[in-house]
Amino acid sequence: MARYVFGADVGGTTVKIGLLTETGEKVEFWEIPTVTEDHGSRIIPDIAASIRAKMKERKIEDTEVVGAGVGVPGAVNSDGMCYQAVNLGWEKISVVNELHSALKLPVKAGNDANVAALGEAWKGGGQGYNNLLLVTLGTGVGGGIIIDGKILSGSKGSGGEIGHIHLVDDEPEKCGCGKHGCFEMYASATGAVRLARRVLAMYDEPSVLREKEYECRDIFDAAKNGDNMARMAAEQYGYYLGKGIAAVATVTNPEIIVLGGGVSKAGDMLFDLLMPSFKKYAFSGCAEAKFALAKLGNDAGVYGAAKLLIG
Amino acid sequence: MARYVFGADVGGTTVKIGLLTETGEKVEFWEIPTVTEDHGSRIIPDIAASIRAKMKERKIEDTEVVGAGVGVPGAVNSDGMCYQAVNLGWEKISVVNELHSALKLPVKAGNDANVAALGEAWKGGGQGYNNLLLVTLGTGVGGGIIIDGKILSGSKGSGGEIGHIHLVDDEPEKCGCGKHGCFEMYASATGAVRLARRVLAMYDEPSVLREKEYECRDIFDAAKNGDNMARMAAEQYGYYLGKGIAAVATVTNPEIIVLGGGVSKAGDMLFDLLMPSFKKYAFSGCAEAKFALAKLGNDAGVYGAAKLLIG
């Protein structure tokens, strides 16, 4: 008798849901809309209904299902208590209790970035590693820390919020969190653009970046093509990325560090860019960590949410 | 039938051993010498023999003993594998396997600073908290991180090595680890002396610190007595202490932060000194952590080692 597990990754516009075998083979992934009206009160019932409909469609009995895991874009502790999820309209809510009431199956929940890290450790770029750090390089910098195979959630679910480690003292601009000089002000996609803007303002040298509105990937493409201004921006990006990761690695001593998110499409060049400052700033006992690229893309959260149920 | 547990805290000159009830009541604590000759090969057999002798003396049967835990001054992962313990002469060694062979009782092991954190979470300044950061302010800065009641050991046992987080970019002096600008260069007892030395060199103002060889506690005593130079050094000390703790708290989101080690004898004034920079640099979701002073002193490691056996 096949045994199944469901994973749901709740985003601001859609919920990705996956049906997997308990060994992590993908059976079917689909999406439903995230209804944020009325303080997001329909989100959990909608997930439960969608899972129940899929079980009915595929004639899957309750006894064949290990349970359902959920990743949420907010602070969630290891008991599945969500303290706030602004994009969903949620205040404090026990995701585990609410979904369990609606679904009548075993339920677990976690923060989406943390759950994605668990997914990458299960079936992605960090497959087979029990101590992993996932660094998600997107509009911001997110993180997920896996210790002995479990998510580091922290007391109020803010564990792994590595984007807001303080890196730079004299930063004049303000981070989205209200502070100055956070890691994600430099190591995110918008951070790369910020660094390029500053390089271009400081020097007169010509650059393809002066010819158009550019975004993060244009900087890395131009750097690969030998554009000197872009190369300087990319090197600064790597400097801050390595420095921030070094701080996290010194605290948590991961075996492998996995880079995900849109910026990670720049590929292996990121490792060359970050390694000098990573080696310079990481404690020697932690500096031998492996590096890898994430493999699961937007599916990482679904895999990880399912993995919450699998010991 | 009373149930007992043993804890052993291995130091460079003595091993502290404790017999406790499984609820953490102290029955008897004693010490044996640490014999470091011959690559420390006698240390584990000596611990086993001392525990066996105590059991015989007190007529304690094997069935009454939950087991024995050991704290080691070196990197130890969650399986009890020690990668190196320089002060003991140890290279890679499975503490758990070796002690189990000698003692024939259940055995666990951990890094001494991490184990001390577990002790403070069980019976000390962080009693009752499942997510705790212990910051040990001594000659260096050590740390122990407890997540959901368990030690964060990391893949090679270097988890919680917070003393070597990079804090300052332009530090000319070298840290014991070979790098520049580590947290412990400022927030340790020797760090406080370094900061005072720099303050005294920068200003001409009189200070009691100019009148003698001073150590860390003299700085805090003088600051309390209104010595302006000492106050400036103490404020700088607090600035770095708060900034370093903020970085760790942003990664691990502890419920409570416990300060231990010799410098913590300065008491509550440390909280006043560190709070401005802690609040400035910690991510908002982590900035509400409580602070407390450690309570178990040099016994923390014995309590924590014993607690390794108690779920």
Q: What percent of chain B has pLDDT over 90?
A: 92
Both tokens of A28, joined, read 């079917």
pLDDT in tens, B218-261: 999 999 999 999 999 999 999 999 999 999 999 999 999 999 99
Q: What percent of chain B has pLDDT over 70?
A: 99
CB contact (8 A) between residue A243 and residue B166: yes
* pLDDT over threshold 80, residue B153: yes
Q: What percent of chain A has pLDDT over 70?
A: 99
* pLDDT over threshold 80, residue B2: no
Q: How sure is the predictor about B159, in pLDDT bands with cuts at 50, 70 and 90?
A: confident
Q: How sure is the predictor about A157, in pLDDT bands with cuts at 50, 70 and 90?
A: confident
Give phi and psi for B188, each to the nearest 5: -90, 175
B233 and B266 Cβ atoms separated by less than 8 Å:
no
> What would the mean pLDDT of A139-167 be, rounded to a whole number?
92
pLDDT, mean over chain B? 95
Quick one: CA dihedral B220, B225, B230, B234, positive or negative?
Answer: positive
Q: How sure is the predictor about B1, in pLDDT bands with cuts at 50, 70 and 90?
A: low
CB contact (8 A) between residue A251 and residue B247: yes
Residue of A177, A186, A251 to mutate when probing chain B, most B C-beta within 10 A? A251
Q: Which amino acid is at A257?
A: I
B156 touches chain A (CB under 8 A): yes
Instruction: Please determine whether the domains at B4-124+299-307 and B132-294 fall in the same fold group of CATH.
Output: yes
Q: Packing angle between helix B43-57 and helix B95-103, nearest 10 degrees?
A: 40
Which residues of chain A have a CB within 8 Å of the CB of B75? 285
Superfamily of A4-124+299-307 according to CATH? ATPase, nucleotide binding domain (3.30.420.40)
Which residue of chain B has the CA closest to A166? Answer: B281
* pLDDT over threshold 80, residue A288: yes
B99 and B115 Cβ atoms separated by less than 8 Å:
no
pLDDT in tens, A44-54: 999 999 999 99
B149 touches chain A (CB under 8 A): no
pLDDT the model gives residue B285: 86
Give phi and psi for A268, each to the nearest 5: -60, -25
B75 touches chain A (CB under 8 A): yes
pLDDT in tens, A193-234: 999 999 999 999 999 999 999 999 999 999 999 999 999 999
Give B16→chain A minimum CA distance, Å: 26
B281 touches chain A (CB under 8 A): yes
pLDDT the model gives residue A2: 67
Considering CB atoms only, which of B83, B162, B253 is closest to A158?
B253
A30 touches chain B (CB under 8 A): no
pLDDT in tens, A13-35: 999 999 999 999 999 999 999 99
B63 touches chain A (CB under 8 A): no
Give B183→chain A minimum CA distance, Å: 11
Half-sphere exposure of A136 (CA within 13 A, CB side): 24
pLDDT the model gives residue A158: 86
Which residues of chain B have a CB within 8 Å of the CB of A157? 253, 285
Which residues of chain A have a CB within 8 Å of the CB of B156? 253, 255, 285-286, 288
Quote the DSSP letter at residue A139. S
Which residues of chain B have a CB within 8 Å of the CB of A131? 154-155
Which residues of chain B have a CB within 8 Å of the CB of A178? 284
CB contact (8 A) between residue B253 and residue A130: no
A95 and A77 Cβ atoms separated by less than 8 Å:
no
- The architecture of the domain spanning A132-295 is 2-Layer Sandwich (3.30)
Which residue of chain A has the CA closest to B178? Answer: A284
B97 touches chain A (CB under 8 A): no
Residues 99-128 (B) with a CB less than 8 A from some CB of A: none
pLDDT the model gives residue B116: 97
Superfamily of B132-294 according to CATH? ATPase, nucleotide binding domain (3.30.420.40)
CB contact (8 A) between residue A251 and residue B251: yes
pLDDT the model gives residue A160: 87
B272 and A272 Cβ atoms separated by less than 8 Å:
no
DSSP string, A288-309: T-EEEE--SGGGHHHHHHHHTT
> What would the mean pLDDT of B184-209 be, rounded to a whole number?
97
All structural domains of chain A with their residue ranges = 4-124+299-307, 132-295
Q: Which amino acid is at A276?
A: P
Cα-based distances in Å from B166 to B42, B178, B180: 37, 12, 8
Which residues of chain A have a CB within 8 Å of the CB of B153? 147-148, 253
> What would the mean pLDDT of B117-124 be, rounded to a whole number?
97
pLDDT in tens, A228-287: 999 999 999 999 999 999 999 999 999 999 999 999 999 999 999 999 999 999 998 899
| Interface predicted TM-score of the whole assembly (ipTM), two decimals | 0.89
* pLDDT over threshold 70, residue A1: no
Of B75, B110, B125, B149, nearest to B302 by C-alpha is B110
pLDDT the model gives residue A234: 98
> What would the mean pLDDT of B74-90 be, rounded to a whole number?
91
Considering CB atoms only, which of A153, A251, A280 is closest to B165?
A251
- Using DSSP, state whether A222 is helix, strand or coil: helix
B125 and B119 Cβ atoms separated by less than 8 Å:
no
CB contact (8 A) between residue A285 and residue B130: no
The 8 Å CB, 24+ separation contacts for B17-23 are B17/B47, B17/B50, B17/B51, B17/B54, B17/B302, B18/B299, B18/B302, B18/B303, B18/B305, B18/B306, B19/B54, B19/B58, B20/B302, B20/B303, B20/B306, B22/B66, B22/B310
- Please name the residues in contact with B38: beta carbons below 8 A apart, sequence gap of 6 or more: B89
Of B261, B133, B253, nearest to B187 by C-alpha is B261
Query: How far apart (Å, rounded) are the C-alpha atoms in residues B110 and B81?
Result: 8
Give A280→chain B minimum CA distance, Å: 8
> What would the mean pLDDT of B112-138 be, rounded to a whole number?
96
